[in-house]
Amino acid sequence: MVGYIRLLLHLFNPRDFSMARVFRSPKKSLQRGTVGLLLAVGWAVTTTCATYQLYSDCAAPSSPCPPEGPDDQDAVLFLIGDAGDKEFDDNPVLQHLKTAVTELDERGVSTTVLFLGDNVYDAGVREGYPEDLRLLGAQVEVVAGTSAKGIFVPGNHDWANGAREEGLERILNQAEALEAFDADVSLRPRSGCPGPERENLVDSRGRILATLVLLDTSWWMLEPSTDPACNPSMKADVIPALERMLSEAPDVPVIVAAHHPLKSGGPHGGNFGFKKWLGNQFGSSSGDLNAPEYRTLIDSLSAVFGRASQPIIYAAGHEHSLQVIDEAVVGASVLHLVSGSGSKVTAAEAIEGSRFVAGLPGYMRLDFRSGGRIQLSVVAECSVEAVDANICPGGVPGRLQGVYRARVR
């Protein structure tokens, strides 16, 4: 987004329409000014008039969502991203999530919260800026005082919003800050490494229910200088390492967690008319799915997932919306979960494979039950439109509640 704003400031200058400049170079001045004006108007239209589409494959009365399961979970995994823009007392989503985590902890249910990047807006954890620590602490508060685990993966804003060396410093600052909190929280992958790193999701008796694979996709986009102790430490080695990790993982579902989604009906997916045109004319932002490095990441991961023997769930943030998308890849099916509306909201629309889409504040949860059953739930702050669209049946506008459920396995 920052890149597009800079482009507008560069191209749209009211002085281009001044009579003196027009007389000196009429064609160049008017062309430049007109393009800038069109970009400014288009940007305003895109950001103010984009559709906050609400779609659910179980909104129709004839095909309701499955009922909420009983309180017999072996473990619960929460997914929330882009939550680093509000302090705890100003963020109903974090407050609601903490209540859910606390209730599970009191019942002895093994609980993990995955924070899916952009943990501190706008440029990561800076030295000498206590407000950055307060934003990070707001998310730590979700698991504070419980036995729940909080795993933070980095996003582009945690990397100083796209800087290489400065970004690595901010990542190390965030890791150090998390270690100082009195809670079971950590930044993964560690030490500014790209990953993959593996973490087993277990129940209270230590049984492995799923494998978590943690990637730093912002590292992939930037490819900064990396500690040689990282394994892997080179971009060319990340994908082969991921494939080996999946081949050696137990025969349980795999949840790959990163910041950048591989499928999206949001602005980064280029699904809104003006931004799609803008990308075609001037090139995409590095954070958009059709940017060259991003496209290479998507193709590389999709190829690995297609060869995996386990069911794959890919969890990400980046888009400030809630999306559930099914994708059939060669030899496998991947469930894409985009949960990036922890503190910001943007528009989204249904794309091929969409099962649920909502530009609403919220988070997701995966409940693991006996017999290998997994239920997905989406929790969102209902709007008047969501209630009218039967996304929040019986819901109250402004209240967070379960708005979508589906059996994953």
**SS3 string of 275-296?**
HHHHHHHHCCCCCCCCCHHHHH
57 CA to centre of own chain: 22
pLDDT in tens, 188-212: 999 899 999 999 999 988 899 999 9
Alpha carbons 401 and 195: distance in angstroms, whole number: 34
Looking at the domain 54-407, which fold is it?
Purple Acid Phosphatase; chain A, domain 2 (3.60.21)
Alpha carbons 164 and 219: distance in angstroms, whole number: 9
For the chain, domain boundaries:
2-49, 54-407
Q: What is the pLDDT of residue 282?
A: 52
Kindly give the parts of the chain with pLDDT less than 50.
1-24, 26-30, 32, 34-51, 280-281, 283
Alpha carbons 318 and 84: distance in angstroms, whole number: 12
Here the tokens at position 399 are 């209240």
Q: Look up tokens 């995994």; give the residue.
A: 77
DSSP, residue by residue, 343-408: S----B---TTEEEEE-SSEEEEEEE-GGG-EEEEEEEE--HHHHHTTSSTT--TT-EEEEEEEE-
Upper half-sphere CA count for residue 161 (Cβ side, 13 Å) = 10
pLDDT in tens, 43-90: 444 444 444 668 888 777 667 788 877 788 999 999 999 999 999 999
Q: What is the pLDDT of residue 16?
A: 44
Give 257: exposed, middle or buried? Use CB within 10 Å, 0-12, 13-18, 19+: buried
Alpha carbons 408 and 314: distance in angstroms, whole number: 13
Q: Which amino acid is at 115?
A: F
Here the tokens at position 13 are 């200058």
Alpha carbons 77 and 313: distance in angstroms, whole number: 12
Is the distance from CB of 253 to CB of 313 less than 8 angstroms? yes
Three-state DSSP state, 81: coil
pTM assigned to the model: 0.86
Here the tokens at position 9 are 């400031």
Alpha carbons 220 and 359: distance in angstroms, whole number: 27
Number of CB atoms found within 10 A of residue 350's CB = 18
Q: What is the pLDDT of residue 331?
A: 62
Q: What is the pLDDT of residue 394?
A: 77
Alpha carbons 213 and 252: distance in angstroms, whole number: 12
Provide the H-helix boundaries in 181-291. 217-222, 235-248, 273-282
- B/e letters for 262-279, b = 16+ CB within 10 Å, e = fewer, are bbbbbbbbbbbebbbebb
Q: What is the pLDDT of residue 3?
A: 43
pLDDT over 70 percentage in the chain: 82
pLDDT in tens, 286-328: 789 999 999 999 999 999 999 998 889 999 999 999 999 998 7
